[in-house]
Amino acid sequence: MMTFPDIDNRTHDFELIFKHIPMGIIYLDRNLKILNMNRYCQEKIGVTLDNVKGRYCYEMRSEVFGQTQKAGNPCDGCKAPETIKTGEIKTFIKEVIPGFITENTMVPVKDEHGRVVGLIEMLRDITKSMLASRELLESEEKYKSVVNNIGIGVSLISPDMEILALNDQMAKWFPHIDVSQSPYCYRVFNDPPKDEICSYCPTHKTLEDGEVHESVTETPLGDEIRNYRIVSSPIKDWEGNVTAAIEMVEDITDKKRKEEELQEYRENLEEMVTERTEELTVSNRALKKEIENRREAEKALKISSDKIKNFAYSVSHDLKNPAISIHGLTRLLNKHYEDALDERGRNYCQQIFRSSEQIASLVEMINIYLTTKEMHLHIESINLGDLLLMIKEEFAVPLNIRQIEWTAPQHLPVIRADRIAMVRVLRNFVDNALKYGGEGLTEITIGHREDENHHILYVSDDGIGLPEQESQDIFGLFKRQKTARGIAGSGLGLAIVKEIAEQHEGNVWFEVNSEKGITFFMSISKKL
């Protein structure tokens, strides 16, 4: 029998084998040192014979993997030591280098005494098949994951109608089924169990003719009937024989119930539409009647309003002349006959004089209120600074006499509003402060602020303010508070301000100051 040195010296005899055989061949001595390596193996591993000859095979492999391998320590799973020990051929799979997987066969080389003197390691490239196996395993795992999470039931049925496998959804629906017992489907899928195949079973048909079948079941489960939509597909061997069937099961009980309810609703829809149409017809008649009644009421209200307005104009007109006459005559009586009257007579003249003056003022305010409600706004650009300067000059005398401080911003915006209306509002706010602020009034403050949609004007004073119990409906007609007793006024001023604010798409309100005094506000829309 030849030894390895003999083989190594007869390289020419093995040259064709080394050159053309499509597998790796490595000669190793019994210490696992590399004696020879064919070109195929060198190219696959990426080494040359000169670099590896005389080295331990496991040291070479460790270098390729970038590891440190101690001498005398073969690779994990290597069958070379076992082959040397037993003298038997051993086969195993190993990743020689990263990405190069081989089926390795260790063949012992023995001397004439049967002692193993070396090894021939033959490496067959199985990289593609191993990668394919890994991909197949990964695909199988993915398939199992999809089947278990697909949301419908899946079962595998044998030709004898035995259950071979269930996915998670089927196991959830039928937790009592033990697949390891290969139970008959028609027994365990029904409660109570059946003794024969269901008449509607699509799987039985598939197992008979090898075609896809579908049906909807009425499966008894205790006291209820569940409806399952089953689609059955055949599994065939390479000769076309049906070996099993796959059932894909969807629970459509709720869906079927809703479809039946929908169908019932559709059948009754025409009747419902007819009834609803009749109800709408009656409602429309009632609505038309209500609209007619409202139109009549609005017409009557307008007539009544016009009558009241005409009456108010007539009364104010008829009162104004007598009031002016009384006022004038009383003034003349007091002027020419003051010496002829005693003290009581002179007091009577003064009372008549003030009362006639109040009547004339009241008539004037009534006219202003009526004209304000009917007034068509003349919207224009108004410089608030100029407007406040005019108001200040108008009240200059009482402000100076009472030494009241007037405070207003230096810079005010131009706003869009009715000029006459704005004069009335500001005049009323300032006049109220002077009239009702009391002897302690020392300051009147006029200001402006704004939000996204409105300009806001305000007039604040530090007078006696307004008790909370007297603040109800202060903007109503002829509303005068207890603090206004003995002060001339009509009770129409704030009502006129409220009407002007509403015409300017705004509002009017007041706030009692924290220490003393009161602040009146009016908002004006920016969209005028």
pLDDT tens column, 456-467: 999 999 988 776
What are the pLDDT digits (tens) for 367-397? 665 666 666 778 899 999 999 999 899 899 9
Question: What is the residue-averaged pLDDT of the chain?
Answer: 80
Tokens of 194: 């059946």
Coil/strand/helix, residue 191: strand
Q: Is the pLDDT of residue 179 over 90?
A: no
Q: What share of the chain is helix, strand, coil (3-state, %, to 5)?
A: 50, 25, 30
Cα(132)–Cα(137) distance, integer angstroms: 8
Residue 125 has, within 13 A of its CA and on its CB side, a CA count of 15
Percent of the chain having pLDDT more than 70? 79
Tell me how far apart the alpha carbons of residues 304 and 329 are, in angstroms, rounded to a whole number. 37
Query: Is residue 366 domain-shared with residue 379, that is, in the same domain?
Result: no
Residue positions counted in the chain = 528
Cα–Cα distance for residue pair 159/244, rounded to 1 Å? 6
CB 229 within 8 A of CB 250: yes
Q: Is the same domain home to 332 and 398?
A: no
User: Does the pLDDT of residue 181 top 50, yes or no?
Assistant: yes
pTM over 0.85: no
- Distance CA(371)–CA(316), nearest Å, equals 12
Q: How far is CA 52 from the centre of its chain?
A: 68
CB 178 within 8 A of CB 171: no
pLDDT tens digits, 267-324: 788 788 888 888 888 888 888 888 888 888 877 776 766 555 555 555 555 565 676 7
Asked whether residue 218 falls in the same domain as residue 283, the answer is no
Please answer whether residues 41 and 125 qualify as being in contact, where contact means their C-beta atoms are separated by less than 8 angstroms.
no
The token duo for 361 is 């003022």
Question: Residue 259 domain-assigned?
Answer: no
Residue 454: other Cβ atoms inside 10 A: 17
CA angle 242–246–251, rounded 5-degree value:
150
User: CA-to-CA distance for 359 and 414, rounded, in angstroms?
Assistant: 38
Amino acid at 354: R
Shared domain check, 412 and 367: no
Does residue 355 have a pLDDT over 50? yes
Is there a single domain that holds both residue 390 and residue 355? no
Same domain as 177, residue 208: yes
170: phi then psi, degrees, rounded to nearest 5: -65, -40
Last residue of a domain, one of 251, 276, 300: 251
Cα 276 from Cα 494, distance rounded (Å): 52
Instruction: Tell me, yes or no, whether 245 and 299 share the same domain.
Output: no
Q: Which helix (H) or strand (E) holds 107?
A: strand 100-110
The span from the CA of 249 to the CA of 441, in Å, is 90
Question: What pLDDT is stored for residue 468 in this prediction?
Answer: 56
Least confident of 139-148, 231-240, 438-447, 481-490: 481-490
Q: Are residues 307 and 364 in the same domain?
A: yes
Q: Assess if residue 260 is contained within a domain.
A: no
CB 25 within 8 A of CB 38: yes
**Is the CB of residue 6 less than 8 Å from the CB of residue 20?**
no
For residue 62, give its domain range: 4-132
Q: What does the block give as tokens for 422?
A: 């704005």
Task: Tell which residue, 496, 490, 466, has the closest CA to residue 478.
Answer: 490
- Kindly tell me if the per-residue pLDDT of 5 is higher than 70: no
Task: Return the structure tokens found at 140.
Answer: 């199988």
The per-residue b/e assignment along 7-31, b for 16 or more CB within 10 angstroms, e otherwise, is: beeeeeebeeeeeeeeebbbbbbbe
C-alpha neighbours within 13 Å on the C-beta side of residue 49: 14
Q: Does 405 map to a domain?
A: yes
- Which is nearest to 75 in space by CA: 90, 65, 62? 62
Instruction: Work out how many domains the chain is built from and give that number.
Output: 4
Distance CA 335, CA 339 (A): 9
The CA-to-CA distance between both ends of the chain, in Å, stands at 119
The token pair at 69 is 């391998």
What tokens does 258 get? Answer: 């809703």
Same domain, 381 and 516: yes
The pLDDT, as a whole number, for residue 14 is 56
Residue 413: give its domain's CATH number.
Answer: 3.30.565.10
In a domain, 115, yes or no: yes
SS3 assignment, position 320: helix
Tell me the CATH number at 224. Answer: 3.30.450.20
- Using left for φ > 0, alpha for ψ between -120 and 50, and beta otherwise, residue 517 falls in left
The strand ranges marked E within 329-432 are 379-383, 405-407, 414-418
